[in-house]
Amino acid sequence: MNGTKKCKVKYLAYIFIFWLIFFVHLNAQVRITYNETDNSLAITGQWFLSYQAGKIQKESFNQFFLKRGYISIEKSLTPKISGRITPDISVDREGDGEGDVELRLKYCYLKYRLPGSVLFSLPFIEFGLVHRPWLDFEEHINHYRIQGTMFLERNTIFNSADYGVMLVSLLGGEMDENYKNQVSNSYPGKYGSVAVGIYNGGGYHAIEKNTNKTIESRLTLRPLVQSLPGIQITYQGCYGKGNTITAPGWILHAGFMSWEHQRFVFTGMYFSGEGNSSGSAVDASGAALSQHGYSFFGEFKLLAQKLSIIGRYDCFNAAAKPKDISSERYIVGIAYHFLKGCKILLDYDTSKTNHSNIKDESIFELAVEVHY
C-alpha cells in the first residue's frame, strides 16, 4: 500500500472514530433503560413473487419467477447487543448456474446500542455486513421494492448493503405514537435522523478489489414538525473509489424531499456525481463518468388504505463519448394491501434509452409480496 492510500484509509478511520467518541462523550449523562431480561429471538420473512409479460429490446417474453426472498433472524444477546443474519434468495441469470436459486448473505452484523441524549436519540452501531445509509431509509418511505429497485440502485450507483461499520441516530427524540401508528414508525426522529458509515465500497455481493474505503452519509431533517410532520428533507453524500483494481473516482451528492401522510406519499430526488461504487461507470480510458438525474414517486391511498395507486418517473444521464447516455423510465400501478405488510401489485414499467448496450423495456407485471 503506498503512502497516499494509507493516508486516505487513516483519514476515513479518524473521521469515524471522531464521530464515535463524540456520540459517547455527548451521551454519557443520559442512558436508555432496557429490559435486562430481554433475550428475544425474531424470525421474519419477505418474498416477492411475480408474473411478467412484455418486451425487452423488441423481444417478447412471459414468465413466472421469484424476484427476491429474504429470511431474517435477529437475536438479542444482551440489553445493548444484538445480532442479525439475513440470507438473500435470488435466481442466477447467467453463467454455468443459470436458472439455479442462489442463497447469499445480505446482512450479517453485530449491533450495539449506544446511550442516548436529548439531541441524539436511540443511537446504535452496526458492524459486519451492514446497511448502507441510503436505501433502507428510502425503502421505508417508498414501500414498492416489490416492483423493482429504487432509482439509484436501478442505475447501478450502489446497492443496499456492504461490509463495514455504520453509526445511526434519531434526532431530538421520537415522534408521538399517533404519528408512528397512523403514518410511519420508520426512522421516526422528531427532528430527523443521521447515518454515517465506512465500507469496502463494492457492495454485499462483491469481493474487495482494492485497498480504498468509501465513506457514505445521510442527514435527514424534519423542518415543520408541528404543522407538517410528514415532510422530511435529506442530503446524501458518498466519497471514495470504485471497486476495481484501477480504483476510479466515486463521488455522489443527492437531495431528497419526502412527504408522508395517512392518505399519500410523495418523494422527489436529484443527484449528481462521478462514477459508481462498483467502478463500472467509466469511459474508454478508465476515467469516472459524470452523471446526474432525478426521480419522482407518488402513492395515493384509498379505501381505508387497502388500495393504493402509484406512479414513478426516473431520468438518468451520463456524460459519455462519443454520445451522452440518457434514459427515462415510467412506472404506474395499483396495489391491494392484505394482512400487515403484504400486497398484490399490478403494474406497467416502460423505459427507453439512447445507448445500444442498455435494453429498452416494456413490462406488465402481477406481483405478490408476502411479509411476516
**pLDDT of the residue at 233:** 98
Q: Is the whole-model pTM more than 0.85? A: yes
Helices and strands (H, E) in the chain, number of each type: 4, 16
**pLDDT of the residue at 100:** 79
CA 304 – CA 306 distance, rounded (Å) = 6
The string of pLDDT tens digits covering residues 165-212 is 999 999 999 999 999 999 999 999 999 999 999 999 999 989 999 999
| 247 contacts 210 by C-beta, under 8 angstroms | yes
**Quick one: CA dihedral 261, 265, 271, 276, positive or negative?**
positive
What range defines the domain where residue 201 resides?
3-371
User: Minimal CA–CA distance to 365: which of 350, 341, 348, 351?
Assistant: 348
The string of pLDDT tens digits covering residues 103-146 is 889 999 999 999 999 999 999 999 999 999 999 999 999 999 99
Average pLDDT of the residues in 71-91 = 93
The CATH number that applies at residue 265 is 2.40.160.10
Longest dimension (CA), the chain: 64
User: Minimal CA–CA distance to 351: which of 327, 316, 325, 318?
Assistant: 327
DSSP string spanning 256-312?
A: EEEEE-SSEEEEEEEEEEES-TTS--B-TTSPBPEEEEEEEEEEEEETTTTEEEEEE
CA distances from 165 to 14, 102, 108, 235 (A): 13, 26, 12, 20
* Reported confidence tier of residue 38, pLDDT bands at 50, 70, 90: low
> What is the total count of domains within the chain?
1
Q: Write the DSSP symbol of residue 348.
A: E
